[in-house]
Structure 1
């Protein structure tokens, strides 16, 4: 028997979820590129390997999944009812790691933008977020979230 025959359906689903090159990430990258922005992907030299690094602007963009990164008060985020202790610990570790990486990036002089998945799903919200992102990239604000 193979490993897959032993794993549960949930385990197979969870293992298929990507951490890089997700659909929301690809959408944001494609539009930024079309607008003329050039970037580096997942730069291992920076804390947290940010999704998008814009060296010319000393800016990084993180595309955060609402569930995995605990986007509280978001319609995409609900605390799971089963194995709640496991999920509470896992998601809170993700949140703490995100905050630590953001703090390190800011201390290193990088500007940080967080894009939440829920603002990519709606085309109206996405277009507004994209306009805010372009203004942020060209500006000098050190931190912003697209919520």
Structure 2
């Protein structure tokens, strides 16, 4: 009987953890890191397309809370898009935004590397959208540890 009760308590504990994991359904903010590598001699042209898409995203995507293009300190041809999304829908809007599609097309000409890391919980639709792009993805899911100051994301 003790073993049975212990198993029930353990099962209920895991259920509570799953329910209390921030953003289990993709309604939470999350971070996306897109690591890109530019072909030799194409840096200035790449910075121009990055600036174009950055301005378009700022003007058209209220769910994109932060969007920066950061230079790698050890590789002059490596850059990182750091993006903070309000929720999974904000990413899906970003993915469907025509200037973003144009940027990806131009990246194929000017760049020779692209990978994505996601930090936080997202909807399955986000994972499916990235997988459809055939871009390498590493997803760091939120554990039961951590919090979100939701008042800043409403």
| TM-score, normalisation: structure 2 | 0.31
| TM-score, normalisation: structure 1 | 0.32
Higher RCO (C-alpha 8 Å, min separation 6):
2
